Structure 1
């Protein structure tokens, strides 16, 4: 039996970067969490401890900060491409660079005052090699709720099924979505808010017979509205809301008072894609 080294990568995770753009008295703010991972001809360090091809992860961190000063940051997809292209171009042993960025939002309160937005986080992942460039945008922690226009019935039952059917329920989720771009040269400043709007409007306007149906509607609406996007992957936890029994207090609960459940929760995952879209250059995950 032979023992061999399988796929591997290494890098610097979660480099926190805040970049202030000072345009006179009015400032702009970018707040990123940047993770870099490199893969390629790196077998020697694993097998013999030879570090000749191992760019220090501290260098990756320093590159993030230096590039933020030299080039600015722009959209997270653009900054990720800038970094990934640099590592592939300057390190011959590196065949693929993956840069993942969380972009934290801030709301302007004045020329140089801001309040942190805590409702969701923008994310982006780029993969660059000599053969391909791939850009994935997305959002995580986008909490959405419909107080009606949702049902769940007609499901199979067995001896362990206790869930009653319902024709009127709260539908709530925390959207974790990623969408792959057809090109690495898109207008990400325009594409991102438009894709986000397509996701949320589909959630609002879909009468839901199941969260799976809502997932497909959300992904489909993004693809119908945004021709630059090839596919959408979604993970939708079902944030259960349980009707409170108020009968001990001689009160009727007409779908008005609920307990917001924490766990366990249903988790619905799926991919919606164009049937003519080219396949991904490299696998990507939520």
Structure 2
């Protein structure tokens, strides 16, 4: 059974950031073809890999973000690995279901039930482009968070997110402004890509108090310094994700130790940036 009563409010999240001098989110994008060979004979290689990564990085990470695709692609066994991983993550570490769900009301309600009740994640990434009735059902769960896609780091984001609306504003800005009528700073965050460094300041101006989930640092080339300079606020306001750069730092038996080294490099830089831009 999943752990009960997971949940973390904004103050508790900032408290964890201060305690660990870190705003690191470790992405558990666990690919069966990339994990060390010696683990593949294990009865549950995905969970064993995740377990060792968590053991190595839990003192440095504020959040863990399993990308759901890596688990659901494996069918029931993958979902089992995901559930075991979620249960293994300490309750004082924020959990993100990177599922990018979003559909009409009754379907969104069931997606929300799946990830917030059945599995008991703290948060879920949600696509906003079907509008309020696709997002609101996720916001009815007390103590849970929606992380709304706003300005992403992939190349294809330019296809739609920067197109001017009828008002002349880029579409991502319309999403930010409209969505503030749906949620608040205690139940809604935004995905803002690190590779759009020059845009982070624009996003922060529109939503000054919200937390951002920031992908794109590390393997995708985003600058942690830029993210902090343009995106940090008085409660930090950032969860910066690194996936491949940490979990695949080594494909040998020392993979967990190598992951810790890479996580520690980021944490040390984050500690300096917190002193510089937050405290």
Alignment TM class, shorter chain as reference: under 0.3
Give the TM-score, by structure 2 length: 0.27
Between structures 1 and 2, the one with greater strand share: 1
Larger radius of gyration: 1
Q: How does the TM-score come out when normalised to structure 1?
A: 0.26
RCO greater where, 1 or 2, for CA within 8 Å and sep 6 or more? Answer: 2
